[in-house]
Amino acid sequence: MTVERLLPGQDARDLIELTREIADKELARRVDEHERAETYPEGLFATLGSAGLLGLPYPEEYGGGGQPYEVYLQVIEELAARWAAVAVAVSVHTLACYPLAAYGTPEQRARLLPDMLAGRLIGGYSLSEPQAGSDAAALTCRADRTEGGYRITGTKAWITHGGRADFYALFARTGPGPRGVSCFLAPGAAEGLTFGRPEEKMGLHAIPTTTAHWDGALIEADRLVGVEGQGLSIAFGALDSGRLGIAACATGLAQAALDEAVAYAKERETFGKKIIDHQGLGFLLADMAAGVDAARATYIDAARRRDAGLPYSRQASVAKLVATDTAMRVTTDAVQIFGGYGYTREFRVERYMREAKIMQIFEGTNQIQRLVISRHLAR
């Protein structure tokens, strides 16, 4: 089903139509092959970049699309409805561009941002460590000042596009305590940087997730973004936006599962009638549809607040929580509607269910989202 969207203008409607055309041609036709074989879609991100889909929420003066977040997130949702792994990688790339776009010097932006937003340079986000996931302040990767810049030593974990990205928004310790973390735009080909084997994941197989090992790699001083000690505030500011990206991915995934479940329920017959006409399944599909609509509404509300310059941290956590829990429930129900067939790899719904699980975990687990929301309520 094509989602009927309330968009702010004709330019946004044209962008959604372009996205659907590219997603149907380049993503929907390739997703099954690459997810089953666990192979990387070579050239796909260059295609998305050339279409202008990798820099949508950033300023046009640097080659971005100048789009409000409300529109950008709906583009992400359309991509996710065809290929969740690619949509997640696009969201992460957008997240990785944020520190430079928001905190970089004019010289840094002019030198690096155009290639990043055009997709000529693909980014990864490198905050988590093996012992520091939800507790970002516990990270230990070090950035030691040297005459030539900074020497990076330590291990980072759970990096989407790890080993494939051209740059990483890297967070490393330049001093003690929460105010001793700094942000760097680190090159992906730095000498002394190596990557572990891609994680063997439940889903999102086509895009690698890896650890990164920094063995005294030297990066130039002008790769520091902002000032020393500003890293965690940059990271947390980026994560609010990143959570909205994951909410949009989860909504697109849930929409895909709903669409396939409805199509199957209109074809499959039991006891002399289509299974959608059995009240038990019809009501289940209705609950799935209501959940998807509600998930979309929460992320769009948060995005509109962001676009208006209003505080939106609580709303971002609500959107991430609601959308990803909905995706888990809707994809599980889709498998149920398919019955035994849903448990086989013949149909996509089993993959959707596996992909939904990680969305409750990354960009802050849903337990962390509840903590964020409760702290806002306690103020």
Residue 218 is predicted with a pLDDT of: 96
What integer pLDDT is reported at residue 47 of this predicted model? 96
Task: Give the pLDDT confidence score for residue 134 in this predicted structure.
Answer: 72
Residue 69 has pLDDT above 80, yes or no: yes
Check residue 211 and give its pLDDT.
97
- Torsion angle of the four alpha carbons 147, 149, 151, 156, in this order, in degrees rounded to the nearest 10: 170
| Helices within 51-130 (DSSP H only) | 69-82, 84-103, 106-117
Residues 6+ apart with CB under 8 A from 7: 13, 16, 71, 74
Phi and psi torsions of 304, nearest 5°: -65, -35
Q: What is the mean pLDDT of the chain?
A: 95
Q: Is the pLDDT of residue 346 over 80?
A: yes
What is the structure's pLDDT at 138? 84
- C-alpha 212/C-alpha 161 separation (Å) is 11
Over residues 166-187, the mean pLDDT reads 95
Active site residue 363: yes
Is the confidence at residue 137, as pLDDT, over 80?
A: no
**Per-residue exposure over 55-93, b if at least 16 CB sit within 10 Å of its own CB, e if not:** bbbbeeebbbbebbbbbbbbbbbbbbbbbbbbbbbbbbb
pLDDT, position 370 = 97
The pLDDT of 246-252, averaged and rounded, is 98
pLDDT of residue 276: 86
Task: Give the pLDDT of residue 1.
Answer: 67
Q: Which helix (H) or strand (E) holds 209?
A: strand 209-220
- Tell me, what's the pLDDT at 335? 98
Instruction: Write down the pTM of the prediction.
Output: 0.95
Q: Report pLDDT for 103.
A: 96
Which pairs with CB-CB distance under 8 Å and at least 24 residues apart come from 62-66? 62/101, 62/109, 62/110, 62/113, 62/114, 62/117, 63/113, 63/114, 63/117, 63/118, 64/101, 64/113, 64/117, 65/15
pLDDT of 133 reads 67
Catalytic residue among 129, 350, 355, 363: 363
Which pLDDT band, with edges at 50, 70 and 90, does 148 fall under? confident
For residue 217, the model assigns a pLDDT of: 96
Question: Tell me, what's the pLDDT at 21?
Answer: 98
